[in-house]
């Protein structure tokens, strides 16, 4: 059960349609596959998605920090020493997706070793989540078309709409078109990725007051401390902290400082060990939780649903689990599917997935 080696393999898989949002855009999944090997021949996997516009990480940086700092720290430890691993890796600041991928690959290896699904080890609340689809910037017609297709083909009825453009009327028009096109039964919420100021956000939310939004997420920067607090006080929907509140300490600061009233948990940046800490804090504070998407591939989405389905609070709302649908291909031997608006947890030990070695050979970008 001892970790004998860690591999960090870069790969590149193009998107069929880029995802655009206020803080950046993504045209290809240029992620890092992390494999944790044990001395008894078990291999655990996870993926790290570099998001320089959110956390400052790059694909090469993730590989470098894993190879030069994290691997030497955790090789030799038994899979059960996850608290020790977290403590050692926390000596290095930042690098959230690199740390998270190691943590999740270790959980996968532990599950495979014990012959149990990770989701059961984490909590085993249920085996599925309702899916929320994230709609990137486009024209109102194109975004309504995409949402209609998602509803028709996959049964998805919850949509997170990217906003934060200038003028804000571009986004208000989209949200209005979605509500008019999809009707009153779909759940709609908006995510600004800090694109608007607090006053622009307040104005846009007033203009969308009749559109029955469920949440608003990161409309303006949390660093505009008083502006964000002023904004939150006038909203009548929960305001989700995403990139501003990624650790228990940040969640505490944002919530107690009045700069957010709900949180997004992303396993891509807090792994399973850190996500449980954030989730339990949210329970203690009485916060609503949405399982977010770090523009994950299928492996990342498997991790999100394994965690989200494991706990009652993390599956109370639809989880953002569908953006892999925009990728031209992926690495799993058995592709994920979303049916009737739900993604189910993979049965089987660990995360219940296998990497297709031919696909990995094809898409890896280091040889
Ligand atoms: C999201 O919820 O913000 C886009 C940027 C990022 O950091 O994550 C995605 C989705
Ligand atoms: Mg967000």
| Fold (CATH) for 3-115+356-363 | Enolase-like; domain 1 (3.30.390)
From the list 171, 242, 254, 326, the catalytic residue is 242
Q: Which residues pair with 2 in a beta bridge?
A: 78
- Report the C-alpha gap between 224 and 229 in whole angstroms: 9
Helices then strands, each counted (H, E), the chain? 15, 12
Question: Which ranges of 223-288 does DSSP label H, i.e. alpha helix?
Answer: 225-234, 248-256, 267-270, 273-285
For ligand 1, atom 8, which residue shows the shortest CA distance?
Answer: 294
Look at residue 357 in the predicted model and tell me its pLDDT. Answer: 98
Residue 276 annotated as catalytic: no
pLDDT at 323 over 90: yes
Tell the CATH superfamily of the 120-344 domain.
Enolase-like C-terminal domain (3.20.20.120)
Question: For residue 242, how far is its CA from the centre of ligand 2 (angstroms)?
Answer: 5
For residues 281, 285, 289, 292, the Cα torsion angle rounded to the nearest 10 degrees is -50
**Measured between alpha carbons, how far is 191 from 273 in angstroms, rounded to an integer?**
26
Pocket test for ligand 1, best of 23, 194, 264 (most atoms within 8 A of CB): 23
On the question of pLDDT at 162 being above 90, the answer is yes
pLDDT beyond 90 at 315: yes
Q: Choosing from 47, 171, 200, 217, which is the catalytic residue?
A: 217
pLDDT score for 4: 98
Pocket test for ligand 1, best of 293, 300, 304, 319 (most atoms within 8 A of CB): 293
pLDDT surpasses 90 at 55? yes
Residues 26, 142: Cα–Cα separation, whole Å: 18
Q: Which residues line ligand 1 (CB under 6 A)?
A: 21, 23, 51, 54, 191, 193, 242-243, 292-295
CA angle 46, 21, 288 (to 5 degrees): 65
Pinpoint the alpha helices (H) of 14-57: 52-55
- The SS3 of residue 327 is strand
> Catalytic: 242?
yes
191 labelled catalytic: yes
Q: Would the pLDDT of 367 be above 90? A: no
Question: Under a CB-based contact definition with an 8 Å cutoff, are residues 80 and 1 in contact?
Answer: yes
How many residues appear in the chain?
A: 367
pLDDT recorded at residue 161: 99
Query: 133-168 burial by CB neighbour count: b if 16+ within 10 A, else e?
Result: bbbbbbebeebbebbeebbeebebbbbbbbbbbeeb
Mean pLDDT of 339-363: 98
Give the residue whose CA is nearest to atom 7 of ligand 1: 54
Judge whether 20 counts as a catalytic residue. no
Longest dimension (CA), the chain: 60
| Active-site pick, 99, 162, 276, 320 | 162
Residue 269 Cα to chain centre, angstroms: 8
pLDDT in the model for residue 327: 98
**CA-nearest residue, atom 9 of ligand 1:** 294
* Nearest ligand 1 atom to alpha carbon 21: 4
ipTM of this predicted complex?
Answer: 0.99
Q: Which two tokens stand for residue 172?
A: 């208000």
What gap in Å lies between CA 35 and CA 10, rounded to an integer? 12
User: pLDDT tens-digit profile of 95-128?
Assistant: 999 999 999 999 999 999 999 999 999 999 999 9
Residue 193 Cα, ligand 2 centroid: separation in angstroms? 6
Name the burial class of residue 348, with classes exposed (0-12), middle (13-18) and buried (19+) by CB atoms within 10 angstroms of its CB.
Answer: middle
Distances (CA, A) of 195 to 19, 179, 330, 354: 16, 22, 31, 38
Q: Count CA atoms within 13 Å of residue 331 on its CB side.
A: 30
Determine the pLDDT at residue 245. 98
Query: Where do the domains of the chain lie?
Result: 3-115+356-363, 120-344
Q: Measure the CA–CA gap between 187 and 207, rounded to whole angstroms.
A: 18
Mean pLDDT of the chain: 98
Given this model, what pLDDT does residue 356 score?
Answer: 98
CA distance linking residue 22 with residue 158, whole number of Å: 20
């Amino acid at each position: 059960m001892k970790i004998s080696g860690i591999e960090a393999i870069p790969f590149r898989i193009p998107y069929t349609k880029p995802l655009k949002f206020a803080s950046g855009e993504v045209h290809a999944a240029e992620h890092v596959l992390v494999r944790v090997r044990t001395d008894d021949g078990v291999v655990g996997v996870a993926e790290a998605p570099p998001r320089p516009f959110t956390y400052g990480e790059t694909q090469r940086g993730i590989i470098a920090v894993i190879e030069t700092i994290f691997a030497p720290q955790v090789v030799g430890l038994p899979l059960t020493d996850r608290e020790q691993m977290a403590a050692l890796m926390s000596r290095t600041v930042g690098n959230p997706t690199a740390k998270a991928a190691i943590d999740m690959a270790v959980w996968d290896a532990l599950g495979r070793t014990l012959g149990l699904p990770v989701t059961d080890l984490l909590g085993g609340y249920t085996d599925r989540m309702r899916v929320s689809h994230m709609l990137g910037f486009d024209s109102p017609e194109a975004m309504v078309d995409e949402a209609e297709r998602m509803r028709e083909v996959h049964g998805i009825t919850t949509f997170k709409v990217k906003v934060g453009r200038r003028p804000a009327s571009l986004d208000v028009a989209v949200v209005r078109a979605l509500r008019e096109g999809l009707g009153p039964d779909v759940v709609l919420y908006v995510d600004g990725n800090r694109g608007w100021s607090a006053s622009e956000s307040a104005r846009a939310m007033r203009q969308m007051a009749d559109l029955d939004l469920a949440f608003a997420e990161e409309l303006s920067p949390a660093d505009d401390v008083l502006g964000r607090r002023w904004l939150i006080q006038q909203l009548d929907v929960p305001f989700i902290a995403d990139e501003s509140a990624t650790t228990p300490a940040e969640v505490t600061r944002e919530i107690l400082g009045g700069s957010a009233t709900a949180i997004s948990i992303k396993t891509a940046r807090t792994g399973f060990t850190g996500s449980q800490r954030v989730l339990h804090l949210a329970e203690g504070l009485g916060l609503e939780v949405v399982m977010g998407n770090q523009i994950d591939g299928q492996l990342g989405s498997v991790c999100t649903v394994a965690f989200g389905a494991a706990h009652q609070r993390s599956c109370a709302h639809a989880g953002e689990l569908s953006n892999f649908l925009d990728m031209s291909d992926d690495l799993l031997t058995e592709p994920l599917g979303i049916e009737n608006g739900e993604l189910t947890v993979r049965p089987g030990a660990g995360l219940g997935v296998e990497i297709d070695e031919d696909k990995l050979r094809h898409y890896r970008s280091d040889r």
